[in-house]
Amino acid sequence: MVFLARTVYNPRPGEPAVGLPNPAELCDEGRLSTQAAVERHLLDAFIPAAYRRRPGDTCRWSPQVAEHALVFLARHLQHTLHGTPDLAWWQLHKAVRRRVYQCLLATVTAFAAGLSALGSGLGPAVAIGLAAGFLGWRTGGRPRRLPAVAFRWSGTGFALGVLWAAGFGLILALPARTAPELGLLAGLLLGPVTGVWLGRGVVALAGQETRSPDLASAVGPAMLVRCDRRVFGRLTFTFGFGYGLVLALATPALLHGATSDAVGIAVLIPAFSISGAFAYAAWGHFTLARCYLTLRCRLPRDLMAFLAEAHQRGVLRQSGAVYQFRHIDLQHHLAQR
């Protein structure tokens, strides 16, 4: 409470004292007759005081915008995450309904795969589109629990990838009577991203897994965002050109001996890139949730910069890889508004 009072009533360096609230109002027994009333008054005044404009202040957010966003984040922690004090960026997707991710990824992958195989006939194109849509639906429904910071070799992942690739390649080779080698090739390259192990760590036949950080020793949220974004980019390339390109070239040939057109290849590569990267990195779901909440006017567009500014102004504190409100009472108070 002393910290709150100092923030509300004391001028900052270079800030004139004229126009600041008078601390004598804390002694007004008509308005603030109880200890709880004084505490509520200080908690209400804290956010506007922390974002108060002063000479040389370059803050991008007004007190009203900052308070609106912080109230939403406090409610997110209190109600969606069951009262945890840890504000983790990779859990922001829980503030958005899971069906949003699933519908988006399912639509993109189904449309891209179906368009790529359209030259082989309407029936095969619909079937392939539905299968790809199911892949995107499963991917969107299983966001990563922790961010990914690097890759590591996995012998188990390599063995499982080979087994699933062999099975998937055999299934593709059976109807490809004229060119069974294309089915086997597609299976070897596509197998690791099919089957029950999707989303459990196997990202390539080379046996690589994404590695999660030690949250207790993490240097900060911003660093984790950058690391996970790099992993997301690498996964995008791996899935898009390693799997999407092969499927775009092989599927029509498997069906009727035709070749994929440029449009089909162009749309299928990003479809596989999105689905694969979303399955094994947290940045995709975080970005999608952030954009959705920005459009709904719930959060600022540059959320990480906003959180860093709130930390600098003393509203939030950093605890390893997560942010927390300065005090749990502040979180509870904002969540009730």
Phi and psi at 267, nearest 5°, equal -90, -25
d(CA 38, CA 29): 10
pLDDT of 88 reads: 95
- pLDDT by 10s per residue, the chain, length 337: 999 999 999 988 878 878 889 999 999 988 999 999 999 999 999 999 999 887 777 888 999 999 999 999 999 999 999 999 999 999 998 998 878 777 877 887 787 667 766 666 677 667 767 777 776 777 666 677 888 887 766 666 666 656 655 555 555 555 544 455 555 555 555 554 444 343 344 444 445 567 778 777 777 899 999 989 988 888 777 776 656 555 555 555 544 544 445 455 555 566 667 777 777 788 988 998 899 899 999 999 999 999 999 999 999 999 889 999 999 999 999 999 9
Instruction: Answer yes or no: are the C-beta atoms of 184 and 169 closer than 8 Å.
Output: yes
- Please state the pTM of the whole predicted model: 0.76
Q: Which alpha helices (DSSP H) does 76-220 contain, by range? A: 98-116, 122-140, 155-173, 180-190
Of 90, 142, 105, nearest to 323 by C-alpha is: 90
Per the document, the length of the chain is: 337
327 CB-side CA count, 13 A: 12
Element (H, E) at 96: none
Q: Exposed/middle/buried for 74, CB within 10 Å: 0-12, 13-18, 19+?
A: buried
Tell me what pLDDT residue 203 has.
45
Handedness of CA 133, 134, 137, 138 (dihedral sign): negative
Predicted local distance difference test score (pLDDT) of residue 81: 95
Give the pLDDT score at 185: 55
**Residue 99 in tokens:** 């069906």
CA distance 91 to 140: 14
